[in-house]
């Protein structure tokens, strides 16, 4: 690829020094800051933007990025300025208004900041970054502007999605290369402290919320014919593992065995290293939003524990993702995927043998799906293209 092509693709020109503020309120868990941090790094690194990330919970951020000092009001990490967004009215140490302002997941940006945006001679591009959904309506609403009721400002709604006409999902430019270069043997020794398992063992990674289906699934792995190696990052599901194995806890470094099942607990790693877990496994159980996306780029079969919402509002989202992901599969494999994903999300009973009988089809489909998803374009590039276009008007 020529340098010129490369630079244009990276979006360095003509707005290489655009300033961007991202506001992130942590609702719970890691996904809110997880998505914002990933986007911030990519806008900085691949598009040359000057990015400031305002986050209201530095403790959660610290888990994803250990170099974050929770005591600092302002610091820099990976070339991104990070500010502790201390309370809803706080708008940064000095009221600087960026060229592009992103409010993540409808968090409310400070009133003083909005008023200053309206006073700015050149109005910033104001984007509300929505949660990811694979539903069809997303493409119709993506990038729809909505005028502010009081100020001469438009806010656009940027919808990540899995289909054409949506904002796509985050994918770094060098992700596929990094995956191809991954040294699995070294990873097993370093992270799990054992040799890479022989190919006859199925390696499963399990990142999930508390889940009533987990006991049945663990029992099926324990009692199954094929050996299973389970990798469990410490977290909300760890208690269930401890109970299953009759232990007091299942913290990083712990291992346990029962029948055909062998399980290892892993410590939480900095976000750029999370992908390695997905690359090391044969099948990944993921959750929320960011790990769900990463599992798709890992090109391995996966099962999604969707973030549960009241009134089962998450179930249509689950089905929409399943429809994208399982289209092209034969009816049997598609049915097995639907049954298993539903059961993992509280509808029905998990049946590992029924699901995993289609392993090879799922593997082939995972590779094909990653190629399809890449057609939508990556979220950061789509966002940069939108902002650049808006600014040219």
Distance (Å) of CA 111 to CA 40, 89, 92: 23, 7, 12
Residues 77-136, interacting with ligand TRH (CB under 6 A) = 131
Region near ligand TRH per CB under 6 A, out of 22-30, 121-129, 167-175, 223-231: 22-30
Question: Is residue 187 involved in binding ligand TRH (CB under 6 A)?
Answer: no
Region near ligand TRH per CB under 6 A, out of 30-38, 84-92, 240-248, 337-345: 30-38
Among residues 29, 75, 255, 388, the one that binds ligand TRH under rule CB under 6 A: 29
Q: How far is the CB of 36 from ligand TRH (least distance, A)?
A: 10
User: Nearer to ligand TRH by C-beta: 142 or 305?
Assistant: 305
Among residues 7, 27, 119, 327, the one that binds ligand TRH under rule CB under 6 A: 27
**CB 143, CB 127: distance < 8 Å:** no
The rounded distance, in Å, linking the Cα atoms of 34 and 337 is 27
Among residues 12, 184, 268, 324, the one that binds ligand TRH under rule CB under 6 A: 268
Question: Is residue 32 involved in binding ligand TRH (CB under 6 A)?
Answer: yes
Among residues 103, 290, 361, 378, the one that binds ligand TRH under rule CB under 6 A: 290
Among residues 291, 299, 326, 382, the one that binds ligand TRH under rule CB under 6 A: 291
User: Nearer to ligand TRH by C-beta: 27 or 226?
Assistant: 27
Give the binding-site size for ligand TRH (rule: CB under 6 A): 21
User: Nearer to ligand TRH by C-beta: 34 or 48?
Assistant: 34
Region near ligand TRH per CB under 6 A, out of 25-33, 172-180, 315-323, 351-359: 25-33
The per-residue b/e assignment along 42-53, b for 16 or more CB within 10 angstroms, e otherwise, is: bbbbbbbbbbbb
Q: How far is the CB of 315 from ligand TRH (least distance, A)?
A: 15
User: Nearer to ligand TRH by C-beta: 269 or 357?
Assistant: 269
Question: Is residue 167 involved in binding ligand TRH (CB under 6 A)?
Answer: no
Residues 228-257, interacting with ligand TRH (CB under 6 A) = 233
Give catalytic residues, as residue numbers: 32, 289
Q: How far is the CB of 95 from ligand TRH (least distance, A)?
A: 28
Question: Is residue 175 involved in binding ligand TRH (CB under 6 A)?
Answer: no
Question: Is residue 274 involved in binding ligand TRH (CB under 6 A)?
Answer: yes
Question: Is residue 269 involved in binding ligand TRH (CB under 6 A)?
Answer: yes
* Orientation angle between helical segments 271-280 and 290-297, nearest 10 degrees: 50
Question: Is residue 344 involved in binding ligand TRH (CB under 6 A)?
Answer: no
369, 104, 153, 166 alpha-carbon torsion, rounded to 10°: 10
Among residues 216, 307, 368, 374, the one that binds ligand TRH under rule CB under 6 A: 307
Give the footprint of ligand TRH on this chain (CB under 6 A): 27-32, 34, 64, 131, 207, 233, 268-269, 271, 274, 287-291, 307
């Amino acid at each position: 690829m020529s340098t010129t092509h490369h630079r244009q693709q990276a979006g360095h020109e003509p707005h290489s020094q655009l300033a961007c503020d991202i506001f992130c309120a942590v609702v719970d868990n890691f996904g809110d800051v997880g998505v914002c941090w990933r986007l911030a790094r990519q806008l900085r690194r691949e598009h040359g933007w000057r990015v400031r990330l305002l986050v209201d919970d530095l403790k959660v951020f610290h888990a994803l990025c250990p170099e974050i000092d929770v005591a600092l009001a302002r610091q820099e990490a990976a070339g991104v300025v990070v500010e502790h967004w201390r309370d809803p009215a706080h708008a940064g140490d000095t009221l600087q208004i960026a060229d592009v302002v992103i409010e993540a997941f409808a968090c409310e940006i400070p009133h003083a900041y909005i008023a200053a945006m309206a006073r700015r001679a050149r109005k910033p591009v104001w984007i509300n970054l929505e949660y990811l959904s694979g539903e069809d309506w997303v493409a119709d609403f993506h990038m729809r502007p909505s005028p502010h009721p009081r100020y001469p400002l438009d806010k656009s709604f940027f919808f990540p999605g899995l289909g054409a006409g949506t904002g796509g999902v985050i994918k770094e430019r060098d992700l596929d290369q990094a995956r191809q270069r991954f040294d699995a043997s070294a990873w097993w020794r370093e992270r799990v402290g054992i040799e890479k398992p022989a190919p006859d063992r199925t390696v499963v990674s399990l990142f999930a919320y508390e889940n009533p289906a987990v006991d049945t699934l663990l029992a099926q792995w324990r009692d199954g014919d094929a050996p299973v190696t389970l990798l469990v990052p410490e977290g909300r599901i760890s208690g269930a593992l401890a109970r299953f194995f009759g232990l007091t806890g299942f913290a990083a470094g712990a291992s346990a065995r029962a029948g055909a099942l062998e399980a290892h607990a892993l410590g939480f790693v900095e976000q750029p290293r999370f992908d390695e877990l997905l690359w090391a496994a044969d099948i990944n159980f993921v959750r929320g939003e960011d790990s769900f996306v990463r599992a798709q780029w890992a090109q391995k079969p996966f099962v999604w524990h969707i973030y549960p919402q009241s009134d089962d509002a998450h179930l249509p989202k689950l089905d929409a993702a399943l429809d994208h992901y399982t289209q092209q599969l034969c009816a049997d494999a598609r049915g097995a995927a639907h049954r298993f994903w539903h059961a993992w999300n509280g509808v029905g009973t998990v049946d590992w043998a029924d699901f995993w009988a289609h392993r090879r089809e799922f593997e082939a489909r995972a590779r094909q799906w990653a190629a399809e998803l890449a057609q939508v374009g990556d979220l950061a590039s789509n966002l940069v293209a939108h902002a650049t276009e808006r600014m040219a008007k």
